[in-house]
Amino acid sequence: MVEIATDVNRPYVPGDGATLSATVDVEPGEQTAAAERHILLCLDTSGSMDGAKLDQAREGAGWVFGLLEPDDHVAIVAFDSEASVVMRPTRWGDTSREAAMSRVDDLGAGGGTDMYEGLSTARDVLESLAHRPATDDAVRRILLLSDGKDNSHDPADFADLAAEIDGAGIRILSAGIGTDYAEETIRTLGTTARGEWAHLESPGDIEAFFGDAVEQAQSVVATDAELELDAAAGVEVSEVYRALPQAQEVAVDWAGNTARVPLPDLAERERQRVVLKVHAPAHEVGEEVTLADVRLSAQGRTAVDRIAVEYTDDSAKLAAHNEDVSLDHRQTVVRTELGRGNVDAAETEIERMTRVHGEDTQVVRDVQQQTELVKEGGRGERDRATRIVDDAGIDPGGE
């Protein structure tokens, strides 16, 4: 059974109000049956992919094929100056690894990079399966691999396209390889479509990226997950981030006083966490007040909790502080900025953390170290910086 739990850094606030940090942890529960997967490989075959990169992409595809079950479906779209459907959605039990690999082995590299058309085609191909009764609950994934920049579209265009793809129940896991891909676009796609983004460096990274994505898809408990925050009058919610499994800022949809926070698909043994700021308005002292009712919904599964504080003028109570919640929020902001390559913004946040929590705090030391690695390293370190180790010492990002 799916569960949620909320916490705040300041359980007591003064009568004139205060701003606090809050967390919402999501425990997905156990899977009752393995999910059927619809996997589409969207591969850049532009001229810059010729040689080792395309060979690695072929090996990655072969790795995916080795993980599929008979009732899964697989499709392949390739794009260079235009997009082409290399393999229509095919039930894995109705084809063979050899037949699928022959399609991939026949891919050649040449031309420019129309990633936008590649993704648009990928969406259309996967949507052709979406309304079959037997596959309504399928887990749908686009695994995008590119080493280039789109010919004529900017990140804002891709944000709109990714939102459409996400609305169709399809998650994008986007990966850039090489030194000249559009990093902001790759990040935008993974974030907007509730997936993940990654930078691939070594030859084995493609296999790991594809393989982890396919294995995680099989463990999905529920798709189309979201949190609803029903805020009380005068309450303001801001700085909303997904902290686990990858640090990402969230664009919140508001309808009246209700904020909708979309979540990645819920997967067994993959705890999720949302961190946010909440402004508690002025209120009479002596009462416990619900600032926001929190509801999780995911494919018929629901769970509820609330973000609440007590208003008081007791100085001892007002001094109470849950440091872990504050640190969770601030480290998520730091790691999100590092993922964007915004080292200056990350260092500004670390200065604030140091003033409040001290430089000897473990979380502060961790983000300081990661910031130095990003300054000295490249895109790989930015990617790794977004993967936060949870309380159990397990890195949900697979490091």
Instruction: Give the integer Cα–Cα distance in Å for 387 and 339.
Output: 9
Q: For 151-174, write each residue's pLDDT tens digit.
A: 899 999 999 999 999 999 999 999
pLDDT of residue 130: 65
- Whether pLDDT at 398 is above 80: no
Task: Name the residue among 39, 120, 103 with its Cα closest to residue 75.
Answer: 39
Distances in Å between the alpha carbon of 324 and those of 135, 252, 292, 334, 369? Answer: 42, 24, 20, 15, 19
Peptide linkage before 264 cis (omega within 30 of 0)? no
Chain-centroid distance of CA 95 in Å reads 32
- Integer Rg of the chain from CA: 22
Provide the pLDDT confidence category of residue 99 given band limits of 50, 70 and 90. very high
Q: For 132-147, write each residue's pLDDT tens digit.
A: 545 568 999 999 999 9
Instruction: Give the integer Cα–Cα distance in Å for 397 and 383.
Output: 10
pLDDT of residue 198: 95
| Mean pLDDT computed over 66-86 | 97
> Mean pLDDT, the chain, as a whole number?
93
Instruction: Give the integer Cα–Cα distance in Å for 326 and 17.
Output: 18
Signed CA dihedral, 84, 78, 219, 226: sign only: negative
Are 48 and 80 in contact by the 8 Å Cβ rule? The answer is no
- Whether pLDDT at 395 is above 90: no
Q: For 232-258, write each residue's pLDDT tens digit.
A: 999 999 999 999 999 999 989 999 999
Structural domains in the chain, CATH included, are: 3-31+222-314 (2.60.40.3670), 37-218 (3.40.50.410), 325-385 (no CATH)
Task: Name the residue among 375, 371, 292 with its Cα closest to residue 330.
Answer: 371
Instruction: Give the integer Cα–Cα distance in Å for 271 and 383.
Output: 20
Provide the pLDDT confidence category of residue 34 given band limits of 50, 70 and 90. confident
Higher pLDDT, 167 or 129: 167
Name the residue type at position 203.
Answer: P
- Whether pLDDT at 327 is above 80: yes
Instruction: Give the integer Cα–Cα distance in Å for 23 and 1.
Output: 20
Q: Which residue has the tokens 């080292």?
A: 343
| Mean pLDDT computed over 254-271 | 95
Instruction: Give the integer Cα–Cα distance in Å for 323 and 244.
Output: 18
pLDDT of residue 390: 53
pTM for this predicted structure = 0.92
Burial bucket for residue 37 (CB in 10 Å: 0-12, 13-18, 19+): buried
pLDDT of residue 217: 96
